[in-house]
Amino acid sequence: MSDRATYVLTVDCPDGPGLIHAVSGFLFERSGNILELQQYENHQAGRFFQRIEFETLDGAVTIDRLRAEFATVAARYGMHWQLRAAAAPCRTLIMVSKDGHCLNDLLFRWRNGALQIEVPAIASNHRDLEPLATSYGVPFHHIPVTTATKADAEGRLLELVERERIDLVVLARYMQVLSDGLCETLAGRAINIHHSFLPSFKGAKPYHQAFDRGVKLVGATAHYVTGELDEGPIIEQDVVRVDHRASTDDIVAAGRDVEAQVLARAVKWHAQTRILLNGHKTVVFR
């Protein structure tokens, strides 16, 4: 048992015969025991997606060896692939502004072991949530943003990402629009959360606008960040019902709850390598 190590392999490639045999046969030949396997064939796009969690029963089969040898298989089938240790934590930078409900929820889940992440840093354009970061012992980086300083601020953010070896950036109610260049740099590794009233209620106080229109559903969307504002590949969504008795405060509270839950699920699945990009959409192996 002591020689066993558990890994996750994800594959995205053109669909065709022999793919499952190629991957499973590769693992079998290296004493790999499959623990969980999920796959999806997108017939419309002609692409194949697969996630395999497996253990190796031979201590000599290291992750470096697996990566080096699987590269030959991947090249043969034109695979985009990733292989990582199943238990490896995802180093996560959380970015916030003034609303702390998503930050507080993520930090709590991280501390109680519900999220497979490490949080080496929190960044914000305001200082309001610094005490919360301090209470969890996480370094807080105040990076003010104005029109004149935006480029410099984003440069500091990228320096932080590189210095802390960040795997994932989470915009946990970070109320600044990222530049196209930064979005491109962080493509596939930055998650945003917002209310699901868009495009109906844009701008300030969307929950108040929704209350005035008598909405009956309050929801949230977590998606990968792209240069198209709030239109990146969707990872997770959820809604809660409200009725005519709900006040503005009730709707705001319901929105905060669902935002926190949806964002936490998106972060959890990303950290467990359960999300694969499928063009403008995602494949989520829950």
- Which residue numbers are catalytic? 230
The strand ranges marked E within 2-127 are 5-14, 32-42, 47-56, 80-85, 90-96, 117-124
Task: In whole angstroms, give the CA distance from residue 261 to residue 271.
Answer: 15
Under 8 Å between Cβ of 251 and 207: yes
What's the maximum distance between 2 C-alpha atoms anywhere in the chain?
Answer: 65
| Amino acid at the residue 235 | I
Nearby residues of 43 by Cβ (< 8 Å), 6 or more positions away = 15
| Structural tokens at position 180 | 């196209």
Give the span between the Cα atoms of 54 and 37, in whole angstroms: 9
